[in-house]
A = this chain, B = another copy of it.
Amino acid sequence: MTATMKEVAERAGVSVITVSRVVNEIGCVRAETRARVRAAIEELGYIPNQVASSLRSRRTRSIALMLPTIANSFWTTIARGVEDEAEARGYSVFLCNTDDDQAKERRYFEVLLRNRVDGVAIVPSYGSSPYLETLQQRQMPLVQIHRKLDGVQADVVRADSYGGTFALTESLVAAAARCIAYIGGPLLSPGRDRLAGYRDAIARAGMTDDSALIRTGDADPGTGYRLVRELMSTANGFDAVVIANSRMAVGAIHALAVLGRRIPDDVAIGAYHDIATPDTYSSPLDAYSPYITTATQPAYDMGRLSVRRLFERIGGTTDPIEEFLLPIRIMLPTLAVPGHPPSERSGTASLVQPEAPTVAAVQ
């Protein structure tokens, strides 16, 4: 089949270890010897066998990326960040779509242990804890992305959900909203941080924290739609909504349109908007972007940074476990609805930017 190091060595008239040194560019090799080895490699079309190298050196130069699914652009963008950073270091990435499914996740943990990957970057599902503990018992370097599991002693790279939702809510306050409702996903990580950001912003604005204005549920468009209708029928009126999940926002805004509420004149919207590739396929939210405030998470950077941290762990750093918070970008509405001139509320707030540095380490 393909040439081996031994064959290269014979052709170059050196020992295998010398070839190894040339290939890996370590140790000292005389320039002339190196040239001979390089020539032999060229002539034989030699390509090093990573499998053999991995077995002996106990480093596979591969990592695993586990995430819910690449069929959603937020996770996809994280995956691109992970892959680009890994590729830059000569590492390969095993892609594992878990669909947040326990059985699938379990099988993937087994596969990645069998493959002896050097590290794992994971968006854990809410049942991942036991597996993550198993990985850690086996000394597997580990970084959590986006979601933080209680009791897991591993670095986390995530967006500043608290600060982002706080700023999103404040932008509605600044636009003169007087009663702000909240629609969001499950109260786990990062959902609970988002709700906390909303609550603190409400309190700071001197508004009443009214649980009748708060609805949470599954993070999908259908639930967003349903929760808006629920709010409309039970809450005592509101003139703004924070929607802490982009998929829910699609349904929620649809519901408002169906109910004949004008955006932002009847109801102002502050929504998460996690689409990163506007030039390819865009979200139904885009049509509303000019009229709503949006919060965008730095998904690509989350991917890159998590791998950068993972490599520090693979490299053996004993830094204490950290949580890396990346700032969320807030975009204010720029236009009024056609036929409805800009209301006082639209565009009056200045651009709100969380003050966190690009990479803030806390805890």
Please report A residues at the B interface, Cβ cutoff 8 Å.
1-2, 47-52, 54-55, 58, 60, 62, 69-73, 76-77, 79-80, 83-84, 87, 90, 92-95, 97, 104, 107-108, 110-111, 113-116, 138-139, 220-222, 246-247, 250, 275-277, 279-284, 286-287
Contacts and interface: CB of A to CB of B under 8 A. Distances in A.
A2 B138 CA distance: 7
Copies in the complex: 2
Contact of A49 (B52, B116, B220, B250): B116
A91 B2 CA distance: 23
Contact of A282 (B1, B69, B104, B284): B284
A281 B281 contact: yes
B95 A93 contact: yes
A354 B58 CA distance: 53
A165 B197 CA distance: 51
Given A110-B47, A114-B48, A279-B221, A71 B60 contact: no
A97 B58 CA distance: 27
A170 B79 CA distance: 40
Contact of A60 (B51, B90, B276): B51
Nearest to A48: B114
B92 A93 contact: no
A139 B1 contact: yes
A350 B192 CA distance: 51
A87 B69 CA distance: 14
A51 B60 CA distance: 8
Contacts of A221: 279
24 contacts: A47-B113, A49-B55, A50-B115, A51-B60, A55-B55, A70-B76, A71-B76, A71-B77, A71-B276, A72-B277, A72-B280, A72-B281, A83-B95, A83-B97, A87-B107, A93-B94, A94-B94, A247-B281, A275-B281, A281-B281, A281-B282, A284-B284, A284-B286, A284-B287
A71 B69 contact: no
Nearest to A90: B111
Contacts of A58: 1
Nearest to A93: B95
A220 B52 CA distance: 44
